[in-house]
Structure 1
Amino acid sequence: MLEDILTETLIDLNFSANNREEAMRRSGELLVENGFATTNYIEGMLKNVEENGTYIVIAPGIAMPHARPEEGALAAGISLVTLRKPVVFGHPKNDPVKIVMGLCATDQQTHLEALVSLVDVLSQEGKIEQFLAAEQAKDILTIIKGGNRK
């Protein structure tokens, strides 16, 4: 599923973020720019972390901000932002964050399918390091499809 919904225009490499809000906003902006969400969705992502904590930091160095579908989700989408410098999100074990993957889903089933697909890719040995070493968005897509970046 991930390779079906992640495109070059949803990827931003080596983004300079000073804090978690800037990192999360960028992941949301990519979703908005590509028609997957409204600007309200970005505010929902930020509100989610404020109200529910940093559970969105799903693994060491990886955050997956998201909001409820009714907060502006228009279609299923995932954005991927690698950070130039790691950012502290406030998670007790998985900080600092190096990769931010914004998730937008219109229903719970799509949300779960996207999460499973994402975890499958990220759990493969060496994938996170390859993502961080990627120089172009197309390199990320090659990595996801199982190839080595060029």
Structure 2
Amino acid sequence: MAKEVLSKDNIHLNVSLSGKEEGIRYTGGILVDNGYVEASYVDKMLEREELTSTFMGNHVAIPHGTEDSKQAVKETGISVVTVPDGVEFGDGNIVKVLIGIAGKGDEHLEVLSKIAIVLSEEENVQKIVDAESKEEVIRLFDEVN
């Protein structure tokens, strides 16, 4: 049976991070630790960030691997990390929600569209930052069909 794309184990609330690289490593590390990707995927996430920032606005960044990182993905999954104090993501952009994405085949496209819908609303971003439980975060994403 396939893993849940977003399980409670993939959500870390109220994390303190020193910078963009630590944020990406942390977010990717959750995917590694929970069996979604091989460790090499995290390097591809950092490589992607060098090519183009994954900062999306609304205090959100969506780190993910490069096109050639697909072979390092075992299962489609996302990780969610909240950083209420924010983390500098370059160019003065402060990120409070990091969402790591690993997609098998084209499955990540559906995941991305769901994330985009939830995070397009500033109030949803704030709800994620303010979430006191992992269930609250999962509920927000489950409300989008």
Describe the superposition over 1:86-131 as per-residue Cα deviations: whole angstroms up to 9, x where unpaired: 1111147xx1111000000122x22221111101111245211110
Q: TM-score, normalised to structure 1's length?
A: 0.84
Give the share of equivalent positions with the same residue, in percent. 30
The equivalences for 1:25-40 within 5 A come to 25-40=25-40
Structure 1 residue 71, shift from structure 2 partner: 5.4
Q: Which amino acid aligns with 1:18?
A: S
Aligned residue in 2 for 1:89: 89
Q: Does the 8 A contact of 1:57 with 1:91 survive in 2?
A: no
CA distance in 1, matches of 2:33, 2:80: 13
Structure 2 residue matching 1:38: 3-state secondary structure: coil
Q: 1:71 to 1:21 in 2, by over 3 A?
A: farther
Q: Write the mapping of 1:87-126 to structure 2, written as runs, cut at 5 A.
A: 87-91=87-91, 95-107=93-105, 109-124=106-121, 126=123
Q: CA deviation at 1:21?
A: 0.8
Q: Structure 2 unaligned runs (5+)?
A: none
- Give distance in 1, aligned partners of 2:57 and 2:130: 18
TM-score by length of 2: 0.87
Aligned residue pairs total 138
Partner of 1:24: 24
Deviation at 1:5, TM superposition (A): 1.6
Q: Residues 96 and 125 from structure 1, CA distance in 2 versus in 1: closer, same or farther, beyond 3 angstroms?
A: closer
Q: Distance in 1 between matches of 2:59 and 2:40?
A: 26
How far is the alpha carbon of 1:48 from its aligned partner? 1.4
Residue 128 of structure 1 is matched in structure 2 by 125
Specify every segment of 5 or more residues in structure 1 that has no aligned partner in the other structure, as ranges. none
**Cα distance in 2 between the residues matched to 1:42 and 1:119:** 22
Letter in 1 for 2:141: I
Q: Which runs of 4+ in 1 moved over 2 A?
A: 68-71, 142-146
